[in-house]
């Protein structure tokens, strides 16, 4: 419940503050590389979840046939 409340307690100024801190820590040139890595990581995660669901469904189908 705490996490749910925390997620909705973040306002626009907090988002701006976090963005400024990230910009100061990593610099303008490094941020596109970080976002590219984040995007590819999310893509691989979704691919893994999809493959896992496919394997579960195929194993359920095999069990139902027996």
| CA within 13 Å, CB half, 42 | 6
pLDDT at 45: 92
pLDDT at 17: 92
Q: What is the pLDDT of residues 36-60, one digit of tens each?
A: 999 999 999 999 888 877 776 666 5
Radius of gyration of the chain (CA): 20
Say how far apart CA 56 and CA 53 lie, in whole Å. 5
- Please report, for the chain, the start and end positions of each structural domain, with discontinuous segments joined by +: 2-65
The structure's pTM equals: 0.50
Band (11; pLDDT cuts 50, 70, 90):
confident
Residue 8 token pair: 């909705």
């Amino acid at each position: 419940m705490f996490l749910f409340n925390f997620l909705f307690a973040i306002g626009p100024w907090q988002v701006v503050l976090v963005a400024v801190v990230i910009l100061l820590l990593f610099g303008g040139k490094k941020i596109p590389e970080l976002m590219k890595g984040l995007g590819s990581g999310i893509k691989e995660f979704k691919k893994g979840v999809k493959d896992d669901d496919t394997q579960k469904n195929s194993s359920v189908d095999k069990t139902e046939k027996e």
